[in-house]
Amino acid sequence: MSTPAGWVALAAALAVAALVGVPPGRAAGRLAGQPVAEAAPAIHRAAGGRRRAVLVLLGALLAVLVVGVASGPQGAAYAAIGLVPALTAASLLKGRARELARARSEAEVARACSLVAAEVRAGRAPEGAVDLVAEDCPVLAPAAAALLVGDDVVRTWRHQAGRPGCGGLADLARAWEVSRACGAPMGPSLDQVAGALEREAEVSRLVRGELASAQATGRLMAVLPAVGIGLGYSIGGRPLDFLLHTAVGLACTVVAVALASLGTLWTTALARTPGREP
């Protein structure tokens, strides 16, 4: 494995082995003002993400060092050139999957609360409304099961609220708890919660739409160097011979790959900042 392609393949394989540790996009938000029981899952998830980030960085450095010891600085450079983009792509893919799952959960929570509010408004008992809506909205299935055995549905919702995209269940739990404690009708409280969650979901969709172009631009900037290399070949040059087979070229390539990956991750992180979490 003395060729550049061989070292890049090895680095890519090491990157695949590290995918399980790619950290979440951002730490739990909106923790201030939450009860400890609601905030704890998000805090644990954020701490786990930091630990995984450290492990992945250490693993990547170790992989580069091992390759460097085995083949010298040139092999370490090839390993870095393969490892950094692979980990960056994995992080972007996992982050995208998390964002889609969170958006689906937010929409389902908002819809479930609206349906429960509608059923209560139509005269159905709140417990019966939750049980009925749970058949169509799986996010309420744990609450329906808790009501069936006489467990505390408020505690169930607060536990679920720690999951990504399910933060609206904390509002539902507070409305349920206050109405039960005060003996007040639950219909108006549920209507307010449902309306607030629908507005938040609409704002989230609007923000994601507005940020989509910025995210696409950041990713486009990351692939422009490859376009430049192609243009170099189109005019008769051989840029890869310089970039991969000379000391100066390898140094430039490593720095360029690192900066392009860092810029892509930074742009994606900035675009993910707005929104409700969990």
Q: Is the pTM of this model over 0.75?
A: no
Does residue 43 register a pLDDT over 50?
A: no
pLDDT value at 71 more than 70? yes
The answer to whether residue 18 scores a pLDDT higher than 60 is no
Model pLDDT, residue 13: 52
Mean pLDDT of 112-132: 89
Assess whether pLDDT exceeds 60 at residue 254: yes
Confidence check: pLDDT of 252 > 50: yes
Mean pLDDT of 190-198: 87
Phi/psi for 150 (5° steps) reads: 80, 20
Confidence of residue 28 (pLDDT cuts 50, 70, 90): very low
Region 258-269 average pLDDT: 84
Confidence of residue 141 (pLDDT cuts 50, 70, 90): very high
Kindly report which listed range (39-53, 145-159, 168-182, 191-205) carries the lowest average pLDDT score.
39-53
* pLDDT of the residue at 50: 62
Higher pLDDT, 278 or 228: 228
Least confident piece of the model among 22-36, 63-77, 111-125, 195-209: 22-36
